[in-house]
């Protein structure tokens, strides 16, 4: 989660137009890893919390199974 927070902070400073894309890709990657059983939801929680608090973040993250 710390690395993701640092990425978001740096992107916001040097390329704010990239933050939304970074958040979307990171959330989708986490969702897919959770759905495939490669990442436990409890392990992903802190990172997803950071992403949810990012400027431009919309709603909660869902796993593919929850979205279906």
What is the number of other CB atoms lying within 10 angstroms of the CB of residue 67?
A: 9
Tens-binned pLDDT, residue by residue, of the chain (68 aa): 999 999 999 999 999 999 999 999 999 999 999 999 999 999 999 999 999 998 766 554 444 445 44
23 found inside a domain: yes
65 found inside a domain: no
Angle, in degrees to the nearest 10, between helices 41-52 and 2-14: 20
Domain of 18 in residue numbering reads as 2-55
Give the predicted TM-score (pTM) of the model: 0.76
Give the chain as a 3 state SS string: CHHHHHHHHHHHHHCHHHHHHHHHHHHHHHHHHHHCCCCCHHHHHHHHHHHHCCCCCCCCCCCHHHHC
50 found inside a domain: yes
Total count of domains within the chain: 1
């Amino acid at each position: 989660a710390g690395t993701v927070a640092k990425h978001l902070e740096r992107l916001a400073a040097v390329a704010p137009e990239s933050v939304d894309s970074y958040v979307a890709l990171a959330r989708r990657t986490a969702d897919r890893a959770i759905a495939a059983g490669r990442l436990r939801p409890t392990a992903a929680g802190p990172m997803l919390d950071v992403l949810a608090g990012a400027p431009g973040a919309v709603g909660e993250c869902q796993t593919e199974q929850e979205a279906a």
